[in-house]
Structure 1
């Protein structure tokens, strides 16, 4: 980081060096290497440059956008056993913030088991009459290997607090406990349980990153199994193509300070979870699935998000299938930064947008 007359500036090349960055951006032999490129693809040469934090965001979001690249983004565990201490350490850092979030967002969190699946019930202090017969199911992010236990809660708490809905947060199995399709199976178990007592039109499913992919995968699986569709879904910045096809895998590489590189920790975690399964299977890369008949969908991303193209491609595929699909993209944000700080106006806006979308489409 350095300061200039233009304010805080993020130096994109700071951890690679100019030469390496140019290789990544132009020759595609570095962290952004040739995803969706062929040997004869034309290349646009883009010089290394300093990228300022936008002045059009809140002070809270500016601090998040201006953070250095995620620590250990290029540490790539190769087994579930190697991922577990990484996940546990990350979870401990998140869990210490849960009590303060609970108080600020005015929610209550309770552990539960649903047909053998670990979960949490997140209940806001106030539920308006229109939401009392509605239920949201949350599937968390973390590249299928991170955010176990209470560390899965922040996004569910944001949604309950800002949207005033009861939320079931699924603490799905991850490596080394279980591998593909365990996360999807656990999400579907909770959805099927909800269908026993709820009108499906009163149920919504949401989540970000791997949770966004799982949200889409659950709809594909529900279609396969002949289950009724929920009333609406909200996949945030979904990992919809883990084969790493998409423009922003290149253009936002080393600019997204969360995921950082298409060949970084998230790719490594997904491969461990997939456990040798074909990464182009729609139940891992849902952008390749049939989206005809999907429920109304709201997607969320940011302009620096490595998965902005993943999100845009899903939006276009849904629109081409005739689905009522909305896309909200936030200024300057890297991957899923709309739920990094519950005090930021951007977080409140993002979740109130999703809540309003749900209110429009869910039954009462």
Structure 2
């Protein structure tokens, strides 16, 4: 038994993930995409919500709104998938749960994917969608930007690009298991390879090459925001698990933000895996993490002052926060 006893649902999830073909780095990109969509569909059981497609100055986006949500406050969501897979459709369940928990509208961004569209296409699309949202009348302080994995890294890169262009920044940001270092220099890349059922060192390298190209610079600060100047960012929530290859991407990002004078809530969950909140339709730990995430969003919009932490075992990972 581990120091932190996980739920049976989480154990089942890990076993399923270890058999999932979308984690194989030798599979073709079309197959990777199709396999991910099939897997994501098996977790699709969203709360009642409307899904409305829109066009953000040429970028495919979709509104997700549960009944009664405040349409004046928006979570702009950037999905994960190593910049090569993932989609608006695959994240509908998760976006509906964010809308329900935070009482906000969610705008999911279908940014262009690699290798057909390499860096900085995803960043350009994210910035375009954000600026479109501002131009449509949504104030920056009524926007929270969020994303997981590649989308979590893209969240930070986008804020750096916006800041440097003197564009008003969002009220806050959420990064779930963010991919922040495409050079993969974190110790966890190898140390956690045995534990991570989603990300492998080889697979992560393959995704980086697809995004950057063979001659691309993995330390470019707008591709790998760990290397960016991170001053003057809004408050950031980082959620991650101790059993993921990209753990050090989260821990080092938190330190860099703090060193730059920023505010960061580093929410580390013992035994949890890459992007574990995504599985909230079936896994209790994911549901608790999502409640904390949406309370953070609500707090950023002034709807809640003190989001409670439902993870009773977070003290077990407290040493990682220093």
Q: TM-score, normalised by structure 2?
A: 0.86
For 1:240, the equivalent position in structure 2 comes to 180
Secondary structure of the residue aligned to 2:202 is coil
For 1:289, the equivalent position in structure 2 comes to 228
Q: In 2, distance between residues paired with 1:287 and 1:353?
A: 24
Secondary structure of the residue aligned to 1:159 is helix
Q: In 2, distance between residues paired with 1:342 and 1:97?
A: 6
Q: In 1, distance between residues paired with 2:87 and 2:267?
A: 28
For 2:5, the equivalent position in structure 1 comes to 56
Q: In 2, distance between residues paired with 1:55 and 1:177?
A: 42
How far does residue 333 in structure 1 lie from its aligned partner after superposition?
1.2
Q: How many corresponding residue pairs?
A: 300
Unaligned runs of 5+ in 1: 1-5, 7-51
8 Å CA contact 2:43, 2:282 repeated in 1: no
For 2:60, the equivalent position in structure 1 comes to 118
Deviations 1:148-197 (A, max 9, x none): 34124343233123322210000111134422111111111110011121
Q: In 2, distance between residues paired with 1:154 and 1:183?
A: 22
Q: In 2, distance between residues paired with 1:95 and 1:256?
A: 21
Question: Alignment RMSD, CA only?
Answer: 2.0
Q: In 2, distance between residues paired with 1:175 and 1:240?
A: 17
8 Å CA contact 2:73, 2:142 repeated in 1: yes
Secondary structure of the residue aligned to 1:63 is helix
How far does residue 139 in structure 1 lie from its aligned partner after superposition?
0.3
Alignment partner of 1:298 out of 233, 237, 241: 237
For 1:16, the equivalent position in structure 2 comes to none
Residues 1:124 and 1:151: Cα distance change in structure 2 (over 3 Å): same
Alignment partner of 1:199 out of 139, 146, 155: 139
Q: In 2, distance between residues paired with 1:167 and 1:138?
A: 7
Q: In 2, distance between residues paired with 1:70 and 1:146?
A: 18
Alignment partner of 1:263 out of 202, 206, 212: 202
For 2:218, the equivalent position in structure 1 comes to 279
Secondary structure of the residue aligned to 1:283 is coil
For 1:249, the equivalent position in structure 2 comes to 189
Residues 1:363 and 1:225: Cα distance change in structure 2 (over 3 Å): farther
Unaligned runs of 5+ in 2: 304-322
8 Å CA contact 1:136, 1:206 repeated in 2: yes
Q: Between Structure 1 and Structure 2, whose CA radius of gyration is higher?
A: 1
Q: TM-score, normalised by structure 1?
A: 0.77
For 2:171, the equivalent position in structure 1 comes to 231
Of 63-72 and 194-203, the range deviating more from structure 2: 63-72
Deviations 1:238-281 (A, max 9, x none): 1101101112112201211111x2122x3212211112321100
8 Å CA contact 2:79, 2:87 repeated in 1: no
Residues 1:136 and 1:149: Cα distance change in structure 2 (over 3 Å): closer
Alignment partner of 1:358 out of 272, 283, 297: 297
In the alignment, is residue 76 of structure 1 matched against residue 29 of structure 2? no
1:325-336 aligned within 5 A? 325-336=264-275
Secondary structure of the residue aligned to 2:169 is coil
Q: In 1, distance between residues paired with 2:100 and 2:138?
A: 22
Alignment partner of 1:140 out of 62, 79, 103: 79
Q: In 2, distance between residues paired with 1:114 and 1:287?
A: 28
Of 205-214 and 325-334, the range deviating more from structure 2: 325-334
